[in-house]
A = this chain, B = another copy of it.
Amino acid sequence: MPKKFGFLHFNLKDMPKLSKKAQAMPASPIRKLMPYADKAREEGKNILHLNIGQPDIKTPEVVLERMKNIKRDVIEYSNSEGYLPYRKKLAKYYQAHGIPVMAEDIMITTGGSEALTFSMMTCFDVGDEIIIPEPYYANYSGFSVMAGVEVVPITSSIDDGFALPAAERFEALITPKTKGILICNPGNPTGYLYTQAEMKAIAVLVKKHDLFLIADEVYREFCYDGAEPFSAFNLEGIEENVILVDSVSKRYSMCGARIGAMITKNRDVQAMAMKFAQARLSPPTFGQIAAEAALETPQSYFDAVTKEYTERRDFLVDGLNKIPGVRCPKPKGAFYCVIELPIDDSDKFCQWLLESFELDGETVMLAPATGFYITKGKGKKEVRAAYVLKKDKLARALNIIEKALQEYPGTEIAEENVLTSRS
């Protein structure tokens, strides 16, 4: 970073040091390539953004209409736990999905992010350990650093589509410091949807070792091929151990509303989390108005979105698997996939795509999977793509990835693969 010198007589050694926490915070793997993207754009390249989970789907009309008709003179704080009428309606949403949530179990938060921060701050002390299946949503690392908790990763594999690792592998990682397990279901970045059997295996571990289970279920609405998500809130016998993290961001394509929820039957957890909630006063009022309106979104909206994402997923994943040396399991949920590429280093490849490659004036931005693993060296041959673009753009992206792999100096395709795919 540049320092000002001169008239201020500014002297580096006189400056107070920044915190270890700040140093330890990971940079966002999704956003860290931004400077290269900015440069590519300046050079006139068009960039197809497969790197971020910002959907192009329209926010429901009922939300946009509601915002045009706010009848308030003062945009006041809400209660720290969120508006009661909204929480009551939200409880009904869960009940309609077979999830036994009551209004009093719900604390409205500023996005799912805050629900995760509050959960970690409430449950974990500095030095406590939390087990998270990797690859995982990169910001879990950031929230863990903020709470001072150590992430113990358990690596899942592309070979079985990123299924839940076996219970014995979890047990091998459990120490007296282990206080919780964090899962994302359906998963970001893998798109994997845990089966009922896998969820029950987690419940057994949680019960046996007296752990908290934080379940991030923000992609609940995005399940394909008729698959049904099984909520952690439906696990019997661990009702007081579960904290459900949710968000309206993706469900209604209104990421900017910043409305999420921390949901638990555990009144001690809730009472403690309320102190963190009170310190920040209230979740956003405008966002809560929008989120309450969103609960009236018709089923036809979700049907159309599911159809659209299913088509995009099939188009992208099938297309990827046809490219020599590329492998991508077809996810059952969310709108991401992890792609194995025949490359030396996903960070270098993603940067190279922006800096050194173009096809008809266009390139693709992908997220290197290294940022979704905490185990060093993992994810070097993998990238995450979000299928949040329309099919014509996905077609161009597929074409760019195929041509780029032919040109990229670090491509390592085994000869047999090339022959197979050409045959």
Interface residues of A (CB under 8 A from B): 1-4, 8-10, 14-16, 18-23, 25-28, 31, 54-59, 63-64, 67-70, 72-78, 80, 110-111, 113-114, 117, 121-126, 128, 139, 142-143, 146-148, 179-180, 210-212, 237, 239-241, 253-258, 265-269, 271-273, 275-276, 278-287, 290
Nearest-neighbour CB distance to chain B for A186, whole angstroms, equals 19
Copies of chain A in the complex? 2
User: Are A75 and B63 in contact (CB-based, < 8 A)?
Assistant: yes
For A265, what are the chain B residues with a Cβ–Cβ distance below 8 Å? 4
Chain B CB within 10 A, most for which of A4, A15, A210, A256: A256
Q: Report 24 cross-chain contacts, Cβ distance below 8 Å, ordered by A residue.
A: A18-B268, A18-B272, A19-B128, A21-B121, A22-B121, A22-B273, A22-B275, A25-B275, A28-B278, A31-B278, A55-B74, A58-B74, A67-B70, A75-B255, A113-B279, A126-B148, A139-B280, A142-B275, A143-B279, A146-B146, A255-B285, A284-B284, A284-B287, A286-B286
Nearest-neighbour CB distance to chain B for A69, whole angstroms, equals 7
Interface of A is mostly: loop
Q: A149: nearest residue on chain B (CB-CB)?
A: B19
Q: A209: nearest residue on chain B (CB-CB)?
A: B16
For A8, what are the chain B residues with a Cβ–Cβ distance below 8 Å? 237, 239-240
For A254, what are the chain B residues with a Cβ–Cβ distance below 8 Å? 74-75
> Measured between alpha carbons, how far is A287 from B67 in the docked complex, in Å?
12
